[in-house]
Amino acid sequence: MGRRRQPVTEYQLSLFLGDGRAAACLSEEGTGGTGAVSAEEPQAPTAWSGKRALTQDLMERTCDPKNLNRAYKKVKANGGAPGVDGRSVTDLRGWLAEHKEELIEALLMGSYQPQPVREVEIPKPGGGKRQLGIPTVLDRLVQQAILQVLEPLLDPTFSESSYGFRPGRGAYQALRQAQDSVASGREIVVDIDLEKFFDRVNHDVMMSRLARHIGDKRLLRIIRRFLEAGILRQGVCVQRYEGTPQGGPLSPLLANLLLDDLDRELEHRGHCFCRYADDCNIYVRSAAAGQRVMASVTAFLEARLRLRVNRGKSAIARVEERQFLGYRLLPGGHLRIAPESLRRVKERVKRTTRRNRGLSLQRMIQDLNEYLPGWATYFRWATRDRPFRHLDAWIRRRLRCVRLKQRKRSYSIARFLQSLGVPTRQAWLLARSGKGWWRKSGSPQASEAMTNQWFRNQGLLSLTDKIAALRH
């Protein structure tokens, strides 16, 4: 008697299961959905192949109740900001409960119409702004459902030298391949930077690549509408004729599909290369070979894929002069943390430990501990420990500076130092010193009081200890 009934969570609820219309055939007007495409949405004419003929029911697979429920759970878990309609992820469930039949019918008939995306600009690490397009939560659900059907079909066809935004692949595998290429004697890198790649994708070229694999014209029409959905910019809806803004679940897969043509061309030419999303490095043995490769690949990208190469940021250089995925490669394939990566982590620590933030030392340490473990985990493959030791020491000095300034007055500083074991005379020498706070934080008295062990007792993560534990 007795067992209490477990509360039902939102993840356990099945929004689409039990809805017979999800996979059922529609009326005669909707079953085809694959007739001639309207003039507003031209599709690339291609001959039906046996392989594409097997993909004519992709909308039925997309609308399968299990697939839609999985997509809903993924969107719910990812969260994210509302789109142009202001509907949040938590509002999506209520809307679906009332309108799921209409949604499924629109998808199966190929009449689903996405809403414009909301433009958001975020700062890029190297300067400038990156444009994001935030779709509505309903559009994110539809894109996620489509992604779950297309990814198992498209991903196995991609190059083995492509690593970005692919299941089971990541930055570490990309770095390993780059290491192998450099270790084989290819110490010149052709570093190709695509100018505003996600903003420059040509819709006709993209649709022609999709049509090679997809036989369901309903799905092709809906994807094209996603590509052409307008952008809400400062309250005005701007029509979009190129680009696939970052922010939607489908964008990474479409980017990999388009750039797979580049991968295949490089493989055909016999090059050693590594591509992570739109970041492509080609490894050659001489600068002269690098010049030839840069010229021919630039011509291929601009003529075949209609993409622009940023000639200002692209370069032919020795591998140690460039960075790849935050690392710097050295001759022989050794990995180091790139100087730019060290600069960025220091900027992040500076923002966290600003002395005018009005936060306690414990709160600053808590904020640092939320960021530093992930950073250390990513850079654990660097073969030198010195940068981690230097960062540890620099972070401790930043915090010593904060703690001394928080004590403010000479008497308070002296009492604090004495409480941590600094002799009285030495404590008062520092407390009455006219030096600035940063110079005081580097004094022997500050180090004697706030030792490495003291910081461990305060809960501060040691990057050196973290790296040692990860490599153990």
pLDDT tens for the 472 residues of the chain, in order = 444 444 434 433 466 665 444 444 333 333 333 333 343 444 444 444 555 555 678 999 999 999 999 999 999 999 888 888 888 888 988 999 899 999 999 999 999 999 998 888 777 766 667 778 889 999 999 999 999 999 999 999 999 999 999 999 999 999 999 999 999 999 999 999 998 888 888 899 999 999 999 989 999 999 999 998 878 776 677 777 777 878 889 999 999 999 999 999 999 999 999 999 989 999 999 999 999 999 999 999 999 999 999 988 999 999 999 999 999 999 999 999 999 999 999 999 999 999 888 889 999 999 999 999 999 999 999 988 999 999 999 999 999 999 999 998 999 999 999 999 999 999 999 999 989 999 999 999 999 999 999 999 999 999 999 999 998 7
> What's the CA gap between 134 and 199, in Å, rounded?
14
Helix (H, G, I), strand (E, B) or coil at 44: coil
What do you get for the CA distance between the two ends of the chain, in Å?
50
> What's the CA gap between 83 and 339, in Å, rounded?
37
* CA–centroid distance for 272 within its chain: 25
Indicate the pTM of the whole model. 0.82
pLDDT for residue 35: 36
Contact (Cβ atoms closer than 8 angstroms) between residue 140 and residue 146: no
The pair of structure tokens assigned to 442 is: 């580097």
Q: What angle do CA 308, 311, 276 make, to 5 degrees?
A: 65
Angle between helices 339-352 and 386-407 (to 10 degrees): 20
Give the C-alpha distances (Å, rounded to integers) separating 361 from 5, 79, 357. Answer: 45, 31, 11
Give the C-alpha distances (Å, rounded to integers) separating 42 from 29, 34, 113, 205, 211. Answer: 21, 13, 16, 12, 12
Residues 6+ apart with CB under 8 A from 437: 355, 401, 404, 405
pLDDT for residue 25: 38
Residues 6+ apart with CB under 8 A from 173: 163
pLDDT for residue 289: 96
pLDDT for residue 18: 53
Contact (Cβ atoms closer than 8 angstroms) between residue 307 and residue 205: no
What is the greatest pairwise CA distance in the chain?
94
> What's the CA gap between 178 and 199, in Å, rounded?
27
The pair of structure tokens assigned to 145 is: 């459902």
pLDDT for residue 16: 67
